[in-house]
Structure 1
Amino acid sequence: MLSFFLGALAFVCCYPIIFLLTGALMGQGEAAENLRAIFAGGGGFASWSWIPFQPTLRSYVELIFDTPDFFVMFWSSMKITVGILLGQVLFSIPAAWGFARYRFRFHRGLFFLYIVMMMMPFQVMMLSDYLVIRQMQLMNTMGAVILPGIFSTLPVFIICQFFREIPEELLEAARIDGAGEGAIFFRIGLPLGKAGIISALVLQFLECWNMLEQPMAFLKTPSLWPLSMFQPQITSETAGAAFAASVFALLPAIWVFLAGYDFLEQGIQAYYGNCPHEKAAQDG
Structure 2
Amino acid sequence: MAKKRQKRVLFLGIISLVFLYPVIYMLICSVWEGKNAGVSMMGYYRVLLESPGYLVKFWRSLGMCLLIAGGQTILACMAGTAFAKYRFIGKKFWLAMMALFMILPVQVTLLPNYILMEKLGFLNSWKSLIIPGIFSPFGTVWLTFIFQSIPDEWLEAARLDRANQLQIVRYIVVPAAKPAVVTLFVLTFVESWNMVEQPIIFLEGELDYPLSVFLAGVMENSMTVQSVCGLLCLLPVTFFFLYYHKELTDGLRDVLWS
Q: Same fold (TM over 0.5)?
A: yes
Alignment of 1:254-273 (within 5 A): 254-273=238-257
Q: Look up the equivalent residue of 2:47 and give its one-letter code.
A: L
Q: Which residue of 2 aligns with 1:19?
A: 25
* Residues 177/235 of structure 1: CA separation in 2 closer, same or farther (3 Å cut): closer
Offset from partner CA, 1:67-122 (integer Å, 9 cap, x none): 23202211220221122123224422111111111122111111111211221121
Q: Which residue of 1 aligns with 2:117?
A: 133
* 1:176 Cα offset (Å): 4.3
Secondary structure, counterpart of 1:230 in structure 2: helix
* 1:193 Cα offset (Å): 2.5
* 1:63 Cα offset (Å): 0.7
> Which residue of 147, 158, 170 maps to 2:154?
170
Q: Which residue of 1 aligns with 2:96?
A: 112
Secondary structure, counterpart of 2:217 in structure 1: coil
Q: Partners in 1 of 2:53 and 2:24 — Cα distance?
A: 25
Q: Partners in 2 of 1:7 and 1:199 — Cα distance?
A: 26
RMSD of Structure 2 on Structure 1 (CA): 2.2
Q: Which residue of 2 aligns with 1:49?
A: none
Q: Partners in 2 of 1:125 and 1:244 — Cα distance?
A: 34
Structure 1 gaps, min length 5? 31-51, 275-284
Q: Partners in 2 of 1:147 and 1:110 — Cα distance?
A: 20
* 1:131 Cα offset (Å): 1.0
Q: Which residue of 2 aligns with 1:39?
A: none
Q: Which residue of 1 aligns with 2:128?
A: 144
TM-score (norm 2): 0.88
Offset from partner CA, 1:214-246 (integer Å, 9 cap, x none): 112211223321111222124461322111011
Q: Does 1:69 align with 2:53?
A: yes
**8 A contact 1:161–1:270 mirrored in 2:** no
**8 A contact 1:202–1:256 mirrored in 2:** yes
Q: Partners in 2 of 1:195 and 1:6 — Cα distance?
A: 26
Aligned length: 252
Q: Look up the equivalent residue of 2:213 and give its one-letter code.
A: M
Structure 2 gaps, min length 5? 1-6
Which has the larger displacement, 99-108 or 225-234? Answer: 225-234
